[in-house]
Amino acid sequence: MSGILEGKRVLITGVLMESSIAFHAAKLAQEQGAEIILTAFPRPTLTERIARKLPKPAKVIELDVTNDEHLGRLADLVGEELGGLDGVVHSIGFAPQDALGGNFLNTPFESVATAMHVSAFSLKSLTTACLPLMQNGGAVVGLTFDAQYAWPQYDWMGPAKAALEATSRYLARDLGKQNIRCNLVSAGPLASMAAKSIPGFSDLAAVWDTRSPLEWDLKDPEPAGKGIVALLSDWFPKTTGEIVHVDGGLHAIGA
């Protein structure tokens, strides 16, 4: 039996560690039949080392999503490798340290602007850079952390994720006529590279110990990876502008 991504070509960003959601999305995508290409910044060599742990070899391209030159050459580089694209995974987020950890009221705009550019606007930038390769439609899948709420320690990454979620909806609106779907996976907290950059992350993660209906494992990114792969597949042909929660059900619980 062939996999649900058989014959698909997918670009995946954000493979930084073996524990990252993006790594598991890449691994599962290959297992489900996809050809993949990875992007990395600022250390492509790190991603190349991690990529050796995937089931099959995967080329790594340097891509700074805030760099117009990098974005401008992306379609040519990916096209040379894969010919075209059927899916794109956006797993990119960053905020300076003074935008996190309880400093919300004192964060300067420059730091907020950086968080918004890298974490939200980049979804539009990456998607439009890949459009020339998606002539037959496809799927864009990003990662969010439920922006309905003000989370402890998360500070300006919260508004950045809210902007990401809105950006995904507008992309869904504008790209539907090209048969391109744009959806997000809202994952629960995981002990990833991104988590390590958030001061007091353990306080945020502790919420899942008492409120999540399903037991949540901080060390298991595979469920989120499966959510990404499912949305990349043809099993959600008429779903766009959606946020699929892979968070143990916590989003549905009031207290």
pLDDT at 192 exceeding the cut of 90: no
Best CA proximity match to 146, nearest among 194, 118, 186, 201:
186
Its pTM surpasses 0.85: yes
Percentage of the chain lying above the pLDDT 90 cut: 88
Domains and CATH numbers, the chain: 9-247 (3.40.50.720)
Is 76 known to sit in a ligand binding site? no
DSSP 7-75: T-EEEE----STTSHHHHHHHHHHHTT-EEEEEESS-HHHHHHHHTTSSS---EEE--TT-HHHHHHHH
Please write the tens of the pLDDT for every residue from 46-83. 999 999 999 999 999 999 999 999 999 999 999 999 99
Is 212 known to sit in a ligand binding site? no
Residues 48, 26: Cα–Cα separation, whole Å: 13
Is 65 known to sit in a ligand binding site? yes
* pLDDT value, residue 214: 97
Q: Please tell me the chain's helix, strand, coil percentages from 3-state DSSP, rounded to the nearest 5.
A: 45, 15, 40
Q: State the burial class of residue 46 (Cβ atoms within 10 Å of its Cβ: 0-12, 13-18, 19+).
A: middle
Catalytically active residues, by annotation: 154, 161
Is 64 known to sit in a ligand binding site? yes
Please write the tens of the pLDDT for every residue from 196-233. 667 777 777 888 988 999 999 999 999 999 999 999 99
Beta bridge partners of 247: none
Q: What is the mean pLDDT of residues 136-152?
A: 95
